[in-house]
Every structure is written in structure tokens, then in C-alpha cells.
């Protein structure tokens, strides 16, 4: 599953291809409503995974309510997460789905989702938070706009679960383990606080690194552990209760702002349609995927930390929160304060 970084070559090839074929980039003026346009949309996951489901619901709405069409690219078809973001900012792609784990290099405040034990883990609470949060629906929009991105939707994908070469119940059990992290400084800080050695790797290298014991573990939502076959080479699943995987869907801002008002509204409505679907699709998904894993490999172990065991990790979370504030300054502190207010409201309702 090795995949080389090829963003520069890809951008050049796409630019040449579009020039030869007469295709327009995301920064060109839109085609007329009569002929419609083909818009390109890339995400980070495989066929049938959460981002793919969201993308197809977005496509379904656009194509049912306009003459436009959506071309979807899955993981690996245009490179990895960094590649598709570069292509979106360059206007080669009109839409991209990317998690804050990778966007954090552009938008440090997006790393807030990696502060452990900040968010609840119950499906219903998480969905309600994403629907109602001021931090999510207002403050993040401004942060993405600064990077030339029109934020259309942020949505949860699943509770984060750790896989490792041995079961883990305490920070001491993490000692000496290289745990793969996304290229995200705050996530690295989390696993450092947990007692492990954070090891940033692109997704394409993870399976092989687990197989060859270069790394001894990683974290992902259960559906991704299942679809990526990670349980085959990292067969001990640990439910730490420390957070949820979150992603964001966005458009190239120049492309979006250059559209007529009716197309902008069409895109907003399509994003809302896909968000509503995915927030009904997510609850229970983890349990269904866990059943598939256990059916495929019955010797997989499942460890669910007790409240007392979780507390030993919770006690280390404040140092990650402090590091987030140091990295993001006053803006990050304001975002974190609003984030907590939004969460408190959800938990009190």
C-alpha cells in the first residue's frame, strides 16, 4: 500500500490535460446553466467509506437539481491528503473532503479535534454538537476562508479506536510503542502525553509499517480499521474513549464565489442534504463494522477502558490542551472556549 508523494507532477499533468481538452479549472468562469459543468471532488477514503457516502449524497443532490455533474475521486486516485488539498487550492479540484488531521498544517486551530477527552463519544451527543455548535458552524468558516477555502460542512465519522501489537490499558502499556499519527503536531503531543512515541506517516505506508513492526499501533475509526484491513496486522483494538474522527468538506473559494447565486445555493443545499444523511448513517456504524472485523478474524481482541482506566489518560489531557493554546494563541483560546460552551449546552439538553 505504498504511495509516493506526487502532487507537483499531478498538478502539472492535470493542467496540461485540461489545457489540451478544453476543460476549465476551478478559477475559470462557470459554464452556462444550459450546458452545465462537471465539477471535480476528491476525498480521503475508499469506496463505501463515510466520506465516499457523503460525496455520493452531495453528487446525488447536485445532479438531481441541476444540469451540473460531479466527478468523484477516492483515496489514491489523485494522491494522498496533502496532494488533493494542493490541487483544490490550485483550482484543479472544485471540492475536497479533508480531515483536520491534515488541514492542521494550514489551519492550526483545526487541531482542536485532537485534544483528548474534549468531546463526548456517544453517537447522539456528537451529532447534536455538530448540528448546533457555534464554533463549528460560524468560527471555522472564517478560518477556512483565510486559506482560500469555502467551508461547506464539518461532520463526524466515528469514535477513534487505537490498534496495537498488544492490548493497552494504561500509559505504561504504551511505553516503547511507536504509534502512527497523521502529520499533525497536536496529535503527536497527545500520544506523547499518553506515553507512546508518535510516528507521523502518510496513510499509504501504515499497513506495511504495522506488518513489518516499524510501528506498533495507530488510531482510526472502526470503519476505516475494517475497510483498510488494519486489524489483520494490528489485531488488538483499544477503545480509549478519547475522541472522534472529524472531517470537513470544502470548495475552492475562487470557484465558489465566481458562481451565480443560484449555484452557490445549490451547493449549500447539497452539502446540507449530505450532512443530514451522514448524521443518520453514522450512529451504530462502529458496532456494525466491529462485528465484521470479529467475523473475519475471531482472534482480534477488544479492550474497552473502564472509567478508572480512562482517568489515567484523562489526567494527561490538560498538557495537550495547553499545547494547543500555545500553538494557536488568542484565536485558539477563543475557539476552545466556544467549543466548550457548545459542548456544555449539548450535554445539558
CA atoms within 13 A on the CB side of 285: 24
Across the range 49-64, mean pLDDT stands at 98
Across the range 21-42, mean pLDDT stands at 61
Instruction: For residue 327, tell me if it sits in a domain.
Output: yes
Checking if the pLDDT of 78 tops 70, the result is yes
| CATH code of 47's domain | 3.40.190.170
Checking if the pLDDT of 270 tops 70, the result is yes
Return the pLDDT at 266. Answer: 98
Instruction: For residue 320, tell me if it sits in a domain.
Output: yes
Return the pLDDT at 35. Answer: 77
Across the range 189-217, mean pLDDT stands at 96
Return the pLDDT at 11. Answer: 45
Instruction: For residue 55, tell me if it sits in a domain.
Output: yes
Q: Where are the beta strands (DSSP E) in 165-272?
A: 178-181, 197-200, 217-221, 236-239, 244-252
Domain count, the chain: 1
| 42 bridge partner residues | 73, 96
Q: Between 324 and 30, whose confidence is greater? A: 324
Instruction: For residue 104, tell me if it sits in a domain.
Output: yes
Checking if the pLDDT of 220 tops 90, the result is yes
Return the pLDDT at 276. Answer: 97
Listed residue (263, 225, 246, 227) closest to 95, CA to CA: 263
Checking if the pLDDT of 25 tops 60, the result is no
Q: Between 21 and 39, whose confidence is greater? A: 39
Across the range 73-85, mean pLDDT stands at 93
Instruction: Give how far Cα 220 sits from Cα of 104, 206, 298, 320, Å.
Output: 17, 11, 20, 19
User: Which band of pLDDT confidence, cut at 50, 70 and 90, is reported for residue 6?
Assistant: very low
Instruction: For residue 1, tell me if it sits in a domain.
Output: no
Checking if the pLDDT of 12 tops 50, the result is no
Checking if the pLDDT of 304 tops 80, the result is yes
Of 11-25, 99-113, 272-286, 309-323, minimum mean pLDDT range: 11-25
Listed residue (149, 98, 102, 142) closest to 331, CA to CA: 142
What is the DSSP code (8-state) at residue 66?
S
User: Which band of pLDDT confidence, cut at 50, 70 and 90, is reported for residue 81?
Assistant: confident
Per-residue pLDDT tens over the stretch 100-131: 878 877 899 999 999 999 999 899 999 999 99
Instruction: For residue 152, tell me if it sits in a domain.
Output: yes
Per-residue pLDDT tens over the stretch 185-200: 999 999 999 999 999 9
Return the pLDDT at 28. Answer: 45
Average pLDDT, the chain: 90
Instruction: For residue 2, tell me if it sits in a domain.
Output: no
Write down the residue that cell numbers 477555502 correspond to: 149
Return the pLDDT at 76. Answer: 92
User: Which band of pLDDT confidence, cut at 50, 70 and 90, is reported for residue 165?
Assistant: very high
Checking if the pLDDT of 33 tops 70, the result is no
Domain containing 179 equals 7-348
What is the DSSP code (8-state) at residue 142?
H
Instruction: For residue 35, tell me if it sits in a domain.
Output: yes
Across the range 39-65, mean pLDDT stands at 97
Return the pLDDT at 80. Answer: 86
Amino acid at each position: 500500500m505504498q504511495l509516493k508523494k506526487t502532487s507537483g507532477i499531478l498538478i502539472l499533468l492535470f493542467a496540461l490535460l485540461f489545457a489540451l481538452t478544453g476543460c476549465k479549472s476551478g478559477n475559470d468562469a462557470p459554464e452556462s446553466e444550459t450546458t452545465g459543468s462537471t465539477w471535480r471532488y476528491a476525498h480521503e477514503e475508499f469506496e463505501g467509506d463515510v466520506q465516499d457516502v457523503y460525496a455520493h449524497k452531495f453528487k446525488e443532490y447536485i445532479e438531481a437539481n441541476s444540469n451540473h455533474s460531479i466527478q468523484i475521486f477516492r483515496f489514491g486516485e489523485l494522491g494522498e491528503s496533502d496532494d488533493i488539498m494542493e490541487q483544490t487550492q490550485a483550482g484543479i479540484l472544485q471540492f475536497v473532503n479533508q480531515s483536520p488531521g491534515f488541514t492542521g498544517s494550514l489551519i492550526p486551530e483545526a487541531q482542536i479535534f485532537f485534544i483528548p477527552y474534549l468531546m463526548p463519544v456517544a453517537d447522539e451527543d456528537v451529532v447534536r454538537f455538530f448540528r448546533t455548535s457555534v464554533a463549528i458552524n460560524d468560527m471555522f468558516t472564517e478560518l477556512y476562508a483565510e486559506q482560500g477555502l469555502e467551508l461547506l460542512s464539518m461532520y463526524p465519522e466515528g469514535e477513534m479506536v487505537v490498534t496495537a501489537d498488544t492490548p493497552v490499558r494504561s500509559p505504561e502499556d504504551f511505553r516503547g510503542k511507536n504509534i502512527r499519527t497523521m502529520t499533525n503536531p497536536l496529535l503527536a503531543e497527545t500520544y506523547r502525553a499518553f506515553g507512546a512515541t508518535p510516528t507521523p506517516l502518510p496513510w499509504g505506508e501504515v499497513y506495511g509499517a504495522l506488518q513489518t513492526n516499524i510501528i506498533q499501533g495507530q488510531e482510526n475509526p472502526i470503519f476505516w480499521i475494517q475497510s483498510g484491513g488494519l486489524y489483520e496486522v494490528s489485531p488488538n483494538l483499544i477503545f480509549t474513549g478519547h475522541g472522534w474522527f472529524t472531517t470537513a468538506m470544502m470548495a475552492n473559494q475562487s470557484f465558489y464565489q465566481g458562481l451565480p447565486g443560484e449555484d452557490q445555493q445549490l451547493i449549500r443545499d447539497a452539502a446540507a442534504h449530505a450532512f443530514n444523511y451522514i448524521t443518520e448513517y453514522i450512529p451504530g456504524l462502529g458496532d456494525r463494522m466491529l462485528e465484521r472485523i470479529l467475523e473475519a478474524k475471531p482472534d482480534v481482541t477488544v479492550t474497552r477502558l473502564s472509567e478508572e482506566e480512562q482517568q489515567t489518560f484523562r489526567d494527561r489531557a490538560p498538557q495537550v490542551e495547553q499545547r494547543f493554546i500555545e500553538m494557536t494563541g488568542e484565536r485558539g483560546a477563543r475557539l476552545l472556549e466556544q467549543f466548550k460552551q457548545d459542548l456544555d449546552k449539548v450535554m445539558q439538553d
